[in-house]
Amino acid sequence: MKAKKSCKVLTLVLAVLLGVAMTPCVLHAQSQSTATSTNSTKAAKKKAKKEAKKARAEQKKANAEQEKANQATASATDSSSKADKRKAAREAKKARAEQEKASAEQEKASKAAVANTSATAAPAAPSANEAAARRGRTRPVATTQPATPPSAGMVWVNTETKVYHKAGSRWYGKTKSGKWMTEAEAQRAGYKLAKR
């Protein structure tokens, strides 16, 4: 009689664990497909938030079911032998570890889904070059290219003014539009040495 009862309890526990293990996988797949196909609208953001909230609610429900299963296992093992108790404890420990792993993956997926929708929905901030152009400034503005030359002995060519700047110059690697060249290439291309 005890063996049948413990088998039923173990079957119940395994069924619950399978359900708990499958739920995050399904939610993860849904959140990834949602993250890639969402538009950058407010409705899409709301939908992602609702799905994340729903996923958290399902996770709480799964946790409650797991707790009930653990309690049922504990009560069933109270009347069984020590070996059965140890086996049930090991299985419960494995179940908790799997559940924690699944919940961590689910949380990571829901955060990624929310981050993807908010990242795609955010309007691009104007670059430093665009902001300076709107203000009418002519000061040097950081370029998209690195301020350090790719190799030694390179000069910075300002493509707008058709002059090049050597290392140590105020404008070296700092003008709005420009590129790196060797000094010989710059001279062959018709660029002149900057006076300042």
What is the per-residue pLDDT for 38? 45
Whole-number Å distance between alpha carbons of 13 and 96: 12
State mean pLDDT over 4-32.
70
Q: Which residues contact 28 (CB under 8 A, 6 or more apart)?
A: 105, 106, 109
State mean pLDDT over 25-49.
65
Q: How confident is the model at residue 146 (pLDDT cuts 50, 70, 90)?
A: low
Q: How deeply is 102 buried, as exposed, middle or buried, from its count of CB atoms within 10 A (0-12, 13-18, 19+)?
A: buried
Lowest mean pLDDT among 66-80, 97-111, 112-126, 155-169: 112-126
0.85 surpassed by pTM = no
State mean pLDDT over 173-196.
93
Q: Are 175 and 160 in contact (CB under 8 A)?
A: yes
Pair of tokens at residue 181: 């060249």
- Give the chain's length: 196
Name the β-bridge partners of 67. none
Q: What share of the chain is helix, strand, coil (3-state, %, to 5)?
A: 65, 10, 30
Is the pLDDT assigned to residue 164 strictly greater than 90?
yes
Q: Which residues contact 21 (CB under 8 A, 6 or more apart)?
A: 98, 99, 102
Name the more confident of 40 and 102. 102
Pair of tokens at residue 17: 């664990």
Q: Where are the domains of the chain?
A: 2-121, 128-193
Is the pLDDT assigned to residue 170 strictly greater than 80?
yes
Pair of tokens at residue 96: 């908790």
- Per-residue pLDDT of 39-94, as tens digits, reads 457 777 888 888 888 888 888 888 888 887 777 666 655 555 777 778 878 888 88
What is the per-residue pLDDT for 155? 94
What is the per-residue pLDDT for 122? 47
Residue 139, classed as helix, strand or coil, is coil
